[in-house]
Amino acid sequence: MKFILNNEDIETELPSGMTVLDFVRYHKDLKGTKIGCREGDCGACTVLVGELIGDEVKYRSMTSCLMPLANAAGKHIVTVEGINPEDGSLTPVQQVMVDESGTQCGFCTVGFVMSLTGFCLSGAENTQAGSLRSDAISAVDGNICRCTGYKSIERAATRLSDQWSAASGQSVPTYFRSISNRLRQLIENGRPPATEHRPRSAVGGGTDLYVQRPEQMAEAESRPLLYDEQLRGIRDLGDTIEIGAAATVTDLLESPVMQSIFPKLYEHLKLVSSTPIRNMATIAGNFVNASPIGDMTVWFLALDATIELSCISPRVSKGETRTLPLKDFYLGYKQLAKQPDEIITAIRFPKPAGDFRFNFEKVCKRTYLDIATVNTAISCVVGDDLNAGGTPAFQSVHLSAGGVGPIPLYLRETSAFLRGKEPTEETITAANDIMQSEISPISDVRGTENYKRLLLRQLLRAHFVEMFGI
């Protein structure tokens, strides 16, 4: 593998499953990057990953504890040692953290500094949260501090956003200017030869695999998919939207195609993990992890999505393919209608037409950076042609729910019941009765069976409030 670490060209034959965190700390002796949880939760290990896109290098924050070296190939990996100015002064990010007393014991500080540096390197025109200030604060949504208190860090982020134009130009040393050329050469000269043997399993962003079996992954030779060009991109094909299986949650968030269809895209996807995890987490990874509360799975079930599965061939990304409705992918708890040598290559859903509405609801123990207790999504097209009285009725409805059964559920009977009905109070009550018969929640640490039933009932109501104001 070849990549650039800070200002150093790296060529290594270390196992591709080793985490970037272990590589920088134990093989390059760069101890600025800290180890907190090793589960993607604390952000102490945050690094920036630069990818050459056209002539520009796009930097994203990622948690190095979950990132395999394989995903570093052809990239610029930046640790805190790589942003320090050559003259020994502080970067604008480091300076605002000092000025606003944003650090106490310092263990988390490097992570915050890297996330805020990522914010400085992002284009101001890419505002997601509505303002630069909100963007700066959102940039640290994957960083936890246990001793300073967040107000001073928030003040530092706010000050940084106020001086964004000046700070963005000075946030990294001058060697960054050489990176795009160096990455181009590295990619052109460094294409790996196709391997003859067949790797056993796929790894996307690693955000599930490295939490579930870190030791095994460190030894494994997995097939890296995150940057596989054939699995990327979000395309409007006319009557269908096609998403490459390796698209990340951030890719969805930044996609003009998705933004045009889902007006509340940011509001909804902000409920999914944190910025660094969204930068790594692929949609297909979420499907195949098969968690009953997978947010993206519930989201795409409600879009009546289909998946394209291809046999892994050692030489080409796409071998023999077949398509399957996502709702038929789940056979039982963590049991999938997928052969071991198949990977998901694409996700498709019908391009919405007419009066299309969509809503996503998620209840967790805390609002952000938490997995759902119960989640649900709905998509519908409303029209008046099915109703004799001319009042709006559902032409089509797809309703899904997570956390209320062993698999993420497409609620077939409730969806079928809703078709042709008007969105009224009576419809909600009747739909809930059917929905309750379709689910089978269990009592666990996240809530009792009754609590989850009640929660889903309320979330069904929330869908109607959000979509129709009733």
Ligand X SMILES: Cc1cc2nc3c(=O)[nH]c(=O)nc-3n(C[C@H](O)[C@H](O)[C@H](O)COP(=O)(O)OP(=O)(O)OC[C@H]3O[C@@H](n4cnc5c(N)ncnc54)[C@H](O)[C@@H]3O)c2cc1C
Applying CB under 6 A, which residues contact ligand X? 39-41, 201-209, 211, 225, 245, 272-273, 277, 280-282, 284-286, 288-289, 294-296, 343-344, 371
Instruction: Say which amino acid occupies 308.
Output: E
Nearer to ligand FES by Cβ, of 38 and 453: the residue is: 38
Cα–Cα nearest to 379, from 331, 332, 418, 329: 418
**Minimal distance, residue 217 CB to ligand X, in Å:** 9
Nearer to ligand X by Cβ, of 290 and 431: the residue is: 290
Measured over all CA atoms, what is the biggest interatomic distance in the chain, rounded to whole angstroms? 76
Q: Which does 286 bind (CB under 5 to 8 A by kind): ligand FES, ligand X, none?
A: ligand X
**Which of 3, 23, 24, 40 is close enough to bind ligand FES by CB under 6 A?**
40
Return the residue matching tokens 């895209």. 265
Cα–Cα nearest to 46, from 64, 25, 26, 19: 64
**208 in contact with ligand FES (CB under 6 A):** no
Nearer to ligand FES by Cβ, of 204 and 402: the residue is: 204
DSSP category for residue 395: E
**106 in contact with ligand FES (CB under 6 A):** yes
Only segment of 104-112, 179-187, 403-411, 435-443 that touches ligand FES (CB under 6 A): 104-112
Nearer to ligand FES by Cβ, of 20 and 265: the residue is: 20
> Do residues 317 and 345 make contact, with C-beta atoms less than 8 angstroms apart?
yes
Backbone angles phi, psi at 160, to 5 degrees: -65, -40
Q: Which does 344 bind (CB under 5 to 8 A by kind): ligand X, ligand FES, none?
A: ligand X
3-state helix, strand, coil in the chain (%, to 5): 40, 20, 40
Cα distance between residue 126 and residue 253, in whole Å: 11
Residues 60-79, interacting with ligand FES (CB under 6 A): 63, 65
**108 in contact with ligand FES (CB under 6 A):** yes
**Which of 2, 25, 38, 75 is close enough to bind ligand FES by CB under 6 A?**
38
DSSP category for residue 447: B
Instruction: Please list, in sequence order, all residues whose beta carbon lies within 8 angstroms of the beta carbon of residue 426, skipping any fewer than 6 positions away.
Output: none
Strands (E) located in 26-121? 46-53, 56-63, 76-78
Q: Which does 108 bind (CB under 5 to 8 A by kind): ligand FES, ligand X, none?
A: ligand FES
Q: How far is CA 448 from CA 92, 193, 271, 373, in A?
A: 49, 53, 23, 10
**41 in contact with ligand FES (CB under 6 A):** yes
**98 in contact with ligand FES (CB under 6 A):** no
Q: Which does 462 bind (CB under 5 to 8 A by kind): ligand FES, ligand X, none?
A: none
